[in-house]
Each structure stands twice: as structure tokens, then as C-alpha cells.
Structure 1
Amino acid sequence: MNRYLKYNFVIVFVLTVFYNFIALAPAAKAVVSGMNDSVGVEGFDEKAYSDSRKVDVKNLVDKAVQYFEKNDFGKSMNAFSYSKEFIDGELHLFVYDFNNVCLAHGQDRYLIWQDRTNYKDILGNPVIKMIIDKAKTGSGWINYQKDNATKIVYVKGAQKDGKKYAIGSGFYPLSKKDATVSLVRNAVETFNNVMKSGGSTQAVFSEFSYSLGRFINGDLYLFALDFKGKIVAQGDIPGIIGTSAIDYKDSAGRFINREIIEELQTKDIGIWTEYISKGAKKLTYAEKVIDRDGNKYFIACGYYPDTDRKAVVELVKKGYAYMAKNGAAAASKEFSERTKKDYRNGDLFLVVYDIKGKCIAHGANYDYIGINQWNVKDETGKYPIRQMIDKAKAGGGWVDYKVKNSYMFRYVEEIVVAGEKYVIGCGIFPTSKPETMQLIVKDAAGSIRDLGPEKAFGEFIKRSGKFVKGDLEIFVYDFSGLCLVYGSDYNMVWKDMLTAKDDDGRQYVKLIINTAKDGSGTVIYRDRGRLKTVYVMKVEKDGRSYAVGSSFFIK
């Protein structure tokens, strides 16, 4: 009997070690984090990711063109639409003839044989025409809006049996730099289309300046000047339209707009300019456009590459110290007046509210001061001011909500001045894909709690719905492993995925669910030959628990 027990103990010990080895192997690991911790992809380099993915896209398209030239038409279309050989993580191929008909598609095969002449993105850009026009030049990059994000696409022309085709693939960088370039290029495309259709420059520049319009993306906005230096569009401060900015100097005394105009006089490609604005380094991308009368303008957008969540917290701490020493009235003036620079860092600014929701200070909009915003909702129906107050009362930290077509993180703390309680805070729009992933997951979690599972799931599964951001979509598993939502893929709903394995044979769904059971965290596993990162969190509603998450391929 003792020998039998010993024998069983050894078996149990070996199996336990083996199970732990499988569950914690590097190719499929979990990094558990709290709600306000980092997004779980330590050392994520947005530029390296974007640059690497561009290489991957180009290589996939070049490989497809070579295959097309060596094989017959039908075999090629089959391979591009179905073969794993032409799938690289989320990357897939598409093929169009020069009559705008889709002939192959590695993701959305329902588009095959469709004449897509009239397909336009949300900005009105004729996407298929852009693809074919680029193929006619040989090859090159374009970008357009798809699934609530900017997609960067590489296109190459190909020929077979006397007919010409466009073969391409693309990805969603979701980085600040790429979003800046895309916003300008989409504006340039829109401007040129308006000119061709006989529209007016005034109308298109007005659209660029509309603060709630489609050319606003969080803290990214457009501005445009004619080549004499007059401001013709301004998405941040439209009140300065019509004034001259030719003599605008940065903190180092450089005439930035003169430099941009001078360089674009002789260049037909976009340019980058680096300078100091509002006490921080700013990078601005600009392109030249010409109206029907030959008048030249530049359209530009800029961002602050060094502002991050650490800078947000530091600014709040600095503002807290000032307000505690000088009082609420002095803080309101110091934090709100645009001419005051000490409590700004690039596009970062401070806000202060009392605990009933009245705005005491606002670094971006002086008109908000004195207005109670307790009942103001964000673009998803949340009450951001209530969130801020609740978080501050609970000890401070991060809240998130959606505004200006983007998600925002805002850090808040409670402060008591002269016996009165206030909330002081500062916000930042996400600068990386992992941050965006975390935000849409938290947004989805809130929707389940607010709307109930069925209504929320109906929103998650909508193609190009509000819970889609490029290749970021929402998935939901119950804790038994049943798939309830998998982006817009209805074929996955109700599948038992508990024992589903990744490329290395590891049960990744089980790992995702176990991570959710601990609250929230990141899981990394291998799929389609690439590492994929997942952010997941537990959501409880009506006595049931769910693992709600999103994912993207990292390398």
C-alpha cells in the first residue's frame, strides 16, 4: 500500500510540474496587472513595430506578385484568398482589376466579384480608385480610413495575359506619428477631390476647422496656411482663422511657418519639422496643396512625442502643489489662461472641478469655467466628470472615456483647499496600440455592466462598429470556454474554445480565462506564425462572469 501511494505521488508531482511548464512557457505567458497598470507589453516600441510591419506588408505583396507571374490566374486567386502561405498574422492580400472589381480577398471573401467603384472611406476618399491609381504608377503606399482607424496599404501593379491588376495588403499602426501623417494625407486627398469637383476652398477649409468633425482625432487636429502666412484652417482655435502667422516663432526664436513654406516651395512631398511649442518638443508634418487658381497652401498636423503618462502625473502633482499653496481662485487663473505656460506641457493641461461637477479651471476651454458638467456624457454615453470625482474620492488614479473621436486617459487626485474638496486632473490620448487595446476593452466592460450582456454583445459583433479600432476587436468568453463574441466573426459564436491550442500546442483560451479570473492582465501566445498579445479583464453581470479582451499581433 505504501509503495502504491509513493508511486501515485510521483505521478502527480510529475504531471503538476509538466502542467506548470506548459502554462508558463515563454511562447504563451500571462502577465497579470491591475486596472491602472501598464498595458502589459513591456518595452513596446511603436516605431519599431510600425517599421517592421511595413517591411512585412511589402514582402507579402512582392511575394504575391512573383507567385502571380509564375502561376495561372485561377490558381493565384485561390492561393491569395485561402492559402496560409499568403497570411502573415493579421496581414492578408487583396486583388482588383483596373475596372474596380475585387477578384481575391484573404479576409473578406464576400467582396469577391463586387464592383467597388463607389466605395469611399469615412472622409470621402475613393479607396479603390486610390489603390488602382497607385498600381498604375508601379507601386507605392496609400492610406485611408477603415474600421475607425487609419490603414496603411502597399499596392503593386501586376500583369497577366494583357490585363493589369492591383495587388496589395495593409495594416493598422495606431501610432501617433502614423495618425498624424494620415490625417494630413486624408485632408490633402479631400482637398484635391473638392477642387476637382468644383467645390470651394472656403468650404473644405471650414470642414478641416470643425472641432467636432471627422478631421479631429483626440489631440490631433489640422491647421492650414496660405503661402503668405495667413491661417485658413485651424481645428484647435478656429477663432484665429484669417490672421497672419508668418511671424510665428518657437521658443528658440525660429520662424517655423516661414521654414515650412520655404521648404515646400520646391518640394511636392510631405515634410517634417521639429520645434519647441508650449514648452515641449513638437513634430509637425505638412504637405502642399494648390487650388484651381494656382494658390498654394500647406496643410499640417503636429504632435508631442515626449508627452506620456508619467508627464501627466507630474503635471498634476505640480498643479496640486500650486493650488494647495495659492488657493482655488489663483489656480483657476493660472491653469486656464492660454498665455500662462508654467502649467502646460505640450498639449497637456490641467482641469479642476468641485465635487458637484462645476468646472473651476480648464486649460483648453476657458468657457467651461463656472459650468456644471455633472451630466455631460462622452461619445459612448459615460459620465466622465462623475468618473473623475468617484476616482478622486477613492484615492485618485486613472479614468478613461471617449472624446473627439478618440479615447482619453485622465489622471485625477482629490485636493482640499480652505475646507472645500476639489478634483484636479490632466489627460492624455493614447500614443500606442497597446494603450488603445486596453481602452476599448475597458469600454466594452463598461457596456456589459451598463447595457447588459445581450445588448452589449450585439454592439461588439457589428462589423466596423464603435468597438472596432482597425484590427482591434472585442472577444468574450464565459468561464467555461464558450465563445460569445469574436469580433465580427459570427462563425465563432457558441464554439467551445476551452481546449483550443495555439501554434505551439498550448491551450491559450484557458490561459486567457485564468488571467481574467485574477482581475485583468496580458497573455502572449503564438498564432499564424506570429506572437499575439492579448489584454483581458473579468466582467461580472447578473451573476455570470466573462473574460472580455482584445488582441493584436506584435511580431
Structure 2
Amino acid sequence: MTSTSLLRTALAVLAILVPASLLACGDSGLSRSDIQQIVQSEIANNPAPLDQGSSREQVEQIVREAMSEESGQPSPGAAMSTPRKSTPGQFTKYFVNKAIDMYESEGLDATVAHYNTKASVDGPWYVFIFDASDNIIAHAPDPSLVNGPASNAIGPNGFPAGDAVAASADEDGEWFSYTYPNPASGTIETKHSWMVRHDGLLFGSGWYERGPRKSDPPAYTQSFVQQAVNLYDAVGLEETVAYYNSKESVDGQWYTFIFDENDTMLAHAANPDLVNRPASYVVGPNGYPTGEAIVATADEDGAWFGYTYPNPATGGVETKHSWVVRHDGLTFGSGWYERGPGKSDAPTYTKSFVEQALNLYDALGLDAALEYYGSQESVDGQWYVFIVDGNGYTIAHPNPMFVGRDPSLRIDATGHFYGDDLRSATETGKWVDYVLINPETGDDRQKHTWAVLHDGYIFGSGWYE
């Protein structure tokens, strides 16, 4: 074979099977097809002879130089640098590429045998390999998974990690984040896996971070919802809904609820009776329109909505803070609970009652707020919400006789005119005191009203002595 023929043969092989080690050297910004075109051009234009004794590394260097000329970047040289573990994303990709290189050079049996040994594990990094049917054929930290289907690899609360990993992977490589045991620490942490489909097989590895804990409930809630979105993106709607309708998916006070594009409940493991019901069917204490407010609040960036709702972990009605995200037309949400003020702490309970009215107004608008707070259902013992417009007229009150009432008639049972005090409420809120009939007892009592100016309207409620 002539030196030119050797060059042509070597480069033609490399044009088809450019090794992962070459692709990993530097960041050329070139696709595989770009590399093939460059190599073919080099074959046509390179008149220089090549000694028949030239090594593979020398041939690879010729390709690198051709790539460098086309990309305008310096040739990275024959040696492949190993990323630092302090850049875990890059190191993870390198770790997976190294496994693919071993498969290419030594074959499947040797690669599988190696990555089923403890020696192949590097701290939190290990390679898992799935075959063409998504059966696990290498998993050193948990040998019990080997020769089983991907569905056997499950995370906390039965999360279908294996199915999601298998569904996410493609030939270009994909990331998938979820919670999973870290073999280095022995704890459950957030794992970020990089998976590549190669030659019909799946090669993957991942890095871990501590992630939010339940002691930080807002961050934990956001992470909980994001994992649901990740699962949907990986495996689709049907499997996601099936999982989040299972009791196994509930994590103490945390569960994921999902609404479809028409705001119909698809998943709610804590209360299966709500599934296939419209959002309007989901109500809190005193008929509060929780479901409608949630779907109205959600957007693609995510939003918080606070309300009172049953806590499945305690069985009590508590203040719930839900994080809701619109994704692909669906609404994904979950929330955390706190005990909230009790009625025995009347001033604090009153402020919370008004705050919930503001939340409803912000979520659903004025008409919905007027409808709800004009109903007897909205009354909670001695507590009810009234709304006053910019002209001082009452526009919402569970007692119709007060709606539209002349502001000059705000005189209490003692003859005290409290209208000006009420209308002087600010956005930070103000207490206004007067004597009025307590709807719970039917007699005149001293009332302490918390009034807040919001969006040009005054929202108020109060407690009686």
C-alpha cells in the first residue's frame, strides 16, 4: 500500500469513526458531518506522503490540524486533557466518553465487565449502561439492578428514574436531573445525569449536589415541582400522570397535582376524588375557589399562591403555599404547609383572612372576588370580608343590605362615624375600631377591622370582643 493510499484509508476510517477522544479534544464547534467533510477534503488535497509506519495518533493529529484550520482554533494536540472534578458537568461528559471509547476499542463484553466492578467507580461517578432494549447491563453501585429493566431503577418515593433516563437519552447526549442515592455519601441527593445513545446502547453517568432539604420548604417545593416537569419531558403525560396519582409519589406533606390544558385535574394522589374534575371543583374551607385561583396564578416562570387547605400529613386544615408552573399547556404544582394563625389569635387570624382575599383578587380579578365575598359561604364564624371601591361604596358584603350603601351612613351603634377612618386605610393596612352587630352572636360588640388598600379598593375584615 502506498503512503498516499495509507493516508486515504486511515482518514476515510476516521471520517466514519471519529473517536470520542478526538471529539473531546478542545471545543471545535464542529458537528460530526462537518468533521467528515473536512477529512474528505483533506484526503483530496493532501499531497504529502505519509510513512507506512505512521501511528494512529499521527493520523489523528492530521485530522486535528485540518479541523483547526477550518475552525480557526489552534490544534489541541494528541493528548486528551481530563476535566477537573470541580467542573462536574464537564467531568461527567468526559467519564461517559471514556466508557464509549472503551466500548469502541475493546468491545461490549470487556466494557460491561469493567463497569460492573467497584474499581470503575470514582467517588460519586460510575457508568451505567443499558442495552438496546433498555435492560441494565452495567451498574457497579447496585448489582441487583443488572440484567433487569430500566424500570427497576427507582428513586425515592418510587420515582421512575430508570424509565426517565432511558427516555431522555439520545445520540447527542442529554441531561436529566432527579433525586437518587449517592454511592460516595450514602445519602439521597440531587443527581444530574448525562446520557448518550451510542450504537444502540445507553451510556450514562452523573454528578450529585446536596440539593434543597425539607428544612427549606420553599426551595424543596420548587425542586419537587421541577422534578415532575422533568419527568413529563422525559416519559410523556401518561406515565407522569400515572406516577403522580400513586400513593407512592406522596412525600409527607408534598404531593404533585397536575391540571390539563382545559384546567381539569389529571393527578392528585392526596385526594383521588378530584381527578377528572374541573378546577372549580377544588375548593378550600368556606368554599374558597382554590383550584380556579391556582390555575389562574400559574405561569411559565412559576408563581406562589397562598391559601388554606387540608394537609395530608396531619389531617388538619393549614396555610398552604403552592408553587405552580405552566409547562406545555399543563399546570404542575405542589406546596408546603404551616400551621398558620388560629382563631384564638384573633388579630393575626384577621390579617391572614384579608390577605387571602387579596390573593384571590390578584388571581381571579374583581368579579370573582365580588361573587365569592358576596356569598354566605365565604363567612367564617365572625369573620367575613367586605370590599369598598374608590368612591367609598361597599361593593362586596355577605349581607346584601350593606352593598351600595351610602358612605355617609357608616355610623356605628354608638353614633360614631367611622367612614373616614376606614377610607384612610393604606397599602400597609390599618386597624379601624367601631361597634357593630356580630353576625355570630347577633348582638352589638366592639369590632376591630383590619383594612388594606389594594389596587384602589379597600379589603377589610374584623374580629369582635
TM range (shorter): 0.3 to 0.5
Structure (1 or 2) with the greater helix fraction = 2
Give the TM-score normalised by structure 1. 0.32
Give the TM-score normalised by structure 2. 0.37
